[in-house]
Every structure is written in C-alpha cells, then in structure tokens.
Amino acid sequence: MSDDTTTLIDVFDEVPIEPGKIGHHTVLSVDGARVIALSFDRGQEMREHRTHHPILLQALDGHLRITAEDRVHDLRPGALLYLPAARPHAVEAVEPSRLTITPFGL
C-alpha cells in the first residue's frame, strides 16, 4: 500500500479464523504506520512476550484475555488496551476472536 489515503473495507475478510491456528496479517502498512490483525481459534494462546514499541490492541470480535503485569484485561468487541514498550503480556482466546495491533514509534 502507498501513503495515499487508504481504506480497508473489511478487516474480517483479511483475517479469517482458522481452526487450531493463530493468524497474523499486516492489514495496513503506510508511511510510518502499521496495523496488524491477529485471529485466534478458541483456546489459542500467545505466551508471554514483549514488543519493542508501545502498542494499542483493539478487539474486533470474540473474547480475549490479555495478561500484563499479573493483571487480566478482558477484551470484547470495541475494547482498547494500550501497552507501553517492553511490557510483558500474554494473550488467550476465550472464544474465536480477532484483534488489531497498532504499534507506535515505528
């Protein structure tokens, strides 16, 4: 994609939920900005990890549990969670779910 005005009509089309898999798709990449979409089947988990940049997580559908610093955040459609850079966090899909990740400071 270029740095022109860009519209992504339907993120859901770009991020199918596949049984037993975690999907990872860069759905938008323009001048200094990127949006990554993840899809999770029920019960899928991402073990604790860190990112180099602050991130904003937004639940698109389903129900996700994000654990950061021994605190659990339940994300449902429309919910946002900001995590500073290098903050350890883990993700668990309580049900089939999708979320977007927007890193800052790229």
pLDDT tens, residue by residue, 53-89: 999 999 999 999 999 988 999 999 999 999 999 999 9
For residue 79, which of 89, 90, 65 has the smallest C-alpha distance? 65
**What is the value of pTM for the model shown?**
0.89
For residue 9, give both structure tokens.
Answer: 């009509």
Residue 48 confidence class, pLDDT cut points 50, 70, 90: very high
Average pLDDT of the segment spanning 47-51 = 95
For residue 53, which of 40, 34, 38, 66 has the smallest C-alpha distance? 34
* Mean pLDDT of the residues in the chain: 93
What domains, with CATH codes, occur in the chain? 22-103 (2.60.120.10)
| Residue indicated by tokens 């990554």 | 36
pLDDT tens, residue by residue, 94-104: 999 999 999 99
Tell which phi-psi region holds residue 60, choosing left (phi > 0), alpha (psi between -120 and 50) or beta: alpha
DSSP string, 9-62: S-HHHHS---TT-EEEEEEEEETTEEEEEEEE-TT-EEEEE--SS-EEEEEEEE
27 has pLDDT over 80? yes
1 has pLDDT over 70? no
